[in-house]
């Protein structure tokens, strides 16, 4: 396969790292972002020790100017981005009656505004080369909602609205745009939740277990491949049967 450049935002988290590893193993050159200095050197060293071609750029994905500058820098230093995985996200949970304006804005900005901020400067290069894969990592809670997550659910649902509209704009240019909506995944954050609460979550999943980050990553690799060229504007739910539509 052609060696392509894949940008994964939020690529140093649990699901993000799995996506980076899987895309790298499939032959992609990996670029990821980090907002604050700290773990990027160790993360990059670990990935390169595994033989993966990775590059990390500091960028606040809520800042449109920083995103545009980052895309320009990546393009100049490495090449045109062919695969974009919008994976950056945060939670600030609480019932709407107790939610602060800041809690709302931070989640919408990080989870939804970032999709525009990063995709907008990246799309031109994809259109010019007549190939692109934009993959937006949403959530089961963007499909069904979740108590205490009006901000998160709104942002994740908005991601798929973005997907469906942009897919129609760039389909004839060889660029596909799709959403992946994971259910509850066994990341470090989820595994840190007390066992009794995890058991309650698992009880709602027909398959009877949490998902694995590698399962999400495997789906991303396929969506990014040439074989997925006829699929665009779709939302792929991977949640163990917890929510079906």
Going along the chain from its start, the domains and CATH numbers come out as: 5-236 (3.40.50.720)
Two tokens, residue 71: 């895309």
Q: What is the CA radius of gyration of the chain?
A: 17
Question: Which one of 34, 57, 152, 184 is the catalytic residue?
Answer: 152
Is 52 a catalytic site residue? no
pLDDT of residue 96: 96
Angle in degrees, CA 234, 181, 75, rounded to 5? 75
Helix axis angle, 40-49 to 14-25, nearest 10°: 30
Give tens-digit pLDDT for 191-217: 877 899 899 999 999 999 999 999 999
Read off the pTM. Answer: 0.95
Residue 51: how many other CB atoms lie within 10 Å: 8
Give tens-digit pLDDT for 82-107: 999 999 999 999 999 999 999 999 99
Q: Which residues of the chain have pLDDT under 70?
A: 1-2
pLDDT of residue 46: 95
Give tens-digit pLDDT for 129-145: 999 999 999 999 989 88
Helix, strand, coil percent values for the chain (each to nearest 5): 50, 15, 35
> 20: which residues sit within 8 A by CB, 6+ positions away?
8, 11, 30, 32, 47, 52, 54
pLDDT of residue 2: 62
Residue 3 CA: distances (Å) to CA of 49, 57, 78, 83, 225:
20, 20, 12, 11, 11
């Amino acid at each position: 396969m052609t060696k392509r450049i894949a940008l994964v935002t939020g690529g140093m988290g649990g699901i993000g790292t799995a996506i980076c590893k899987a895309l790298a193993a499939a032959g992609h050159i990996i670029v990821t972002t980090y907002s604050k200095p700290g773990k990027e050197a160790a993360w990059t060293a670990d990935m390169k020790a595994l033989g993966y071609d990775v590059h990390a750029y500091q960028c606040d994905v809520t800042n449109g100017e920083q995103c545009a500058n980052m895309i320009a820098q990546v393009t100049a230093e490495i090449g045109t981005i062919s695969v974009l995985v919008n994976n950056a996200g945060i939670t600030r949970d609480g019932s709407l009656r107790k939610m602060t304006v800041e809690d709302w804005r931070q989640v919408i900005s990080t989870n939804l505004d970032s999709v525009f901020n990063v995709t907008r400067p990246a799309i031109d290069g994809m259109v010019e080369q007549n190939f692109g894969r934009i993959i937006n990592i949403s959530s089961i809670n963007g499909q069904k909602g979740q108590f205490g997550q009006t901000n998160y659910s709104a942002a994740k649902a908005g991601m798929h609205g973005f997907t469906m509209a942009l897919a129609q704009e760039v389909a004839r240019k060889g660029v596909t745009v799709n959403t992946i909506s994971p259910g509850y995944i066994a990341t470090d954050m989820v595994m840190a939740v007390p066992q009794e609460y995890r058991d309650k979550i698992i009880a709602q999943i027909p398959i009877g277990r949490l998902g694995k980050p590698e399962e999400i990553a495997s789906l991303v690799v396929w969506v990014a491949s040439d074989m997925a060229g006829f699929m665009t504007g779709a939302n792929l739910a991977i949640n163990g049967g917890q929510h079906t539509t």
